[in-house]
Structure 1
């Protein structure tokens, strides 16, 4: 088939949805399909249309359905779709869900967080990641990484703020890699770095530098207030890197309900307690490491490709039912 994948992020962007679109293009091409990654509707015909973002891509989904009624459509539900836009803009977001022949969620708990009417066509596609070999050579410090663009949804400076509640003997250093979403976020990061000797903001890093940061870190912090299924979870698990994560559905849907590394959302004191516990208790750190290592097999490219192909099969089947409704 010729498959089009629509993403709002332009070529060269390091936004997560651009990375997802390009990774899916590779997986689908490896399965024998021809794939075009686009940022707006194309005049070229296709056999399947995948749109990232139910709300941001609402007009595109609506217009594509109107002009291509026989072509199956898949809408990919992002964290902002599920935990913000469907409440702020319910008409457009839910209309995209209704128009799509199949929906893709990126963590195992998405069904609990969307209207019941759309759950039957929801498929889970867990994002994959490559292997990263640890290269921790400096035992004097306990390095912690935070990876992701600086924005409200990521609560990006929570780990930095937690540093102020660590005991003086702590060896924790926090390294934050990400591009600021606004001038305000840049000012906040710079101000925190100036007053916090444990914190360093690295700005946006390329893939090689990001992998190197993860390889030398002892723990990754994911402090988001909403996530649709963060790819950094996949990356950390594949790297055997323990995670301390905010207790939100998007993290629980990947790490599991009973994962022992959750902290209360926006609670830097609780986060500081877990960071120091990971630093000072080898048993606790080992428990986290064993958990993520156990999950690593779920985040391999072969599993993501198989799930993506199943979602396509469902979209095609539902499209046929839509075009030939039973009497």
Structure 2
């Protein structure tokens, strides 16, 4: 039985995307017959062992935040294969702001893992032969999920409030709409800094079309996805957001910032992109969505056509290919 250590900078109990990915991948790897242990990148070396033994494979999420753990594992477990998972902040921030640590983590890896199909736009060509893409999976909405509201045209924004997400862009876009508009933005996700929480409270005080509900359990997020007509993903950088996978599988049309991390999941010909941080352009897309049901339906068809990329089976098969690329047998 293959022993796999999954290392993430997000600790136990965290709602961060890296932790969710590690937990889900542990399940997929278990389906492949692997014995898996999830550990934090700051944990003691013994926590990275699997059933007290050295792992056959180490998968480390985040090249920069797990940099120390990556180098320590390479030294402590020289016979183990090492796969490093590149996140959005790795590729679009730390590759440039902390190049030495990024290069060391990448150089240590036998295999690199990315989460969307446009990473070749921003990674050095020399690393691409080691790069394998694993699309994050999502489950369909459960039978009996709520129907979209008739009173409001709910626009969902789901994700932690932090700078990379440009989280209040949709709220700004629905300010000062005509009184007859049914558009309303529902924002879900915790604020990583108190300044973002304060900004959300201040926006609610002046913008009756905006509600921030904070960090909700997964089942409540999925109920809001069922009630929404659109999702906005306004991020300045993304490594392959799982919320895009969830929207596609749910058949929920997306208005997305035109960045590689979104294009790499939705496709280059997707019809719902807007320039990063362009409030006016997003407002026009939202107004078009309200005025033209055919536009929303066209986006729905496009996201639904992508859904097959994001099934648990496809994710499991992609992880099996990563294992094989490491010279191991799943």
TM-score (norm 1): 0.95
**Counterparts of residues 201-280 of structure 1 (less than 5 Å):** 201-280=212-291
Are the equivalent residues in 1 in contact too, given 2:55–2:77 (CA < 8 A)?
A: no
Which segment drifts farther, 282-291 or 65-74?
65-74
What residue in structure 1 maps to residue 112 of structure 2?
Answer: 103
What SS does structure 2 have at the residue aligned with 1:203? coil
Count of residues in correspondence between the two structures:
317
**RMSD (Å), alpha carbons:** 1.1
Are the equivalent residues in 2 in contact too, given 1:128–1:231 (CA < 8 A)?
A: yes
Are the equivalent residues in 2 in contact too, given 1:41–1:64 (CA < 8 A)?
A: no
Distance 2:254 2:89 in 1: 22
Tell me by how many angstroms 1:204 deviates. 0.3
What residue in structure 1 maps to residue 3 of structure 2?
Answer: 2
2:311 to 258, 278, 300: 300
What residue in structure 1 maps to residue 124 of structure 2?
Answer: 115
What residue in structure 2 maps to residue 174 of structure 1?
Answer: 185
| Unaligned runs of at least 5 residues, structure 2 | none
Are the equivalent residues in 1 in contact too, given 2:148–2:229 (CA < 8 A)?
A: no
What residue in structure 1 maps to residue 63 of structure 2?
Answer: 54
Tell me by how many angstroms 1:139 deviates. 1.4
Are the equivalent residues in 2 in contact too, given 1:193–1:201 (CA < 8 A)?
A: yes
What residue in structure 1 maps to residue 93 of structure 2?
Answer: 84
What SS does structure 1 have at the residue aligned with 2:174? helix
What residue in structure 2 maps to residue 33 of structure 1?
Answer: 34
Are the equivalent residues in 1 in contact too, given 2:148–2:228 (CA < 8 A)?
A: no
What residue in structure 2 maps to residue 324 of structure 1?
Answer: none
Are the equivalent residues in 2 in contact too, given 1:178–1:203 (CA < 8 A)?
A: yes
Are the equivalent residues in 2 in contact too, given 1:25–1:37 (CA < 8 A)?
A: yes
Tell me by how many angstroms 1:137 deviates. 4.7
What residue in structure 1 maps to residue 75 of structure 2?
Answer: 66
Tell me by how many angstroms 1:41 deviates. 4.8
Tell me by how many angstroms 1:308 deviates. 0.9
The runs of at least 4 aligned residues of structure 1 exceeding 2 Å deviation read 40-44, 133-138, 165-169
Tell me by how many angstroms 1:111 deviates. 2.2
What residue in structure 1 maps to residue 155 of structure 2?
Answer: 144
Distance 2:110 2:148 in 1: 50
Are the equivalent residues in 1 in contact too, given 2:156–2:231 (CA < 8 A)?
A: yes
Partner deviation per Cα, 1:192-243 (whole Å, 9 max, x = no partner): 0110000000000001100000000000000000000000000000100000
Tell me by how many angstroms 1:164 deviates. 1.5
Partner deviation per Cα, 1:76-108 (whole Å, 9 max, x = no partner): 000000000000000100111111000000000
Distance 1:135 1:76 in 2: 35
Are the equivalent residues in 1 in contact too, given 2:88–2:238 (CA < 8 A)?
A: yes
Tell me by how many angstroms 1:138 deviates. 2.6
Distance 2:65 2:318 in 1: 24
What SS does structure 2 have at the residue aligned with 1:150? coil
Partner deviation per Cα, 1:142-196 (whole Å, 9 max, x = no partner): 0010000000000001000001153332110000001001010010000001100
TM-score (norm 2): 0.94
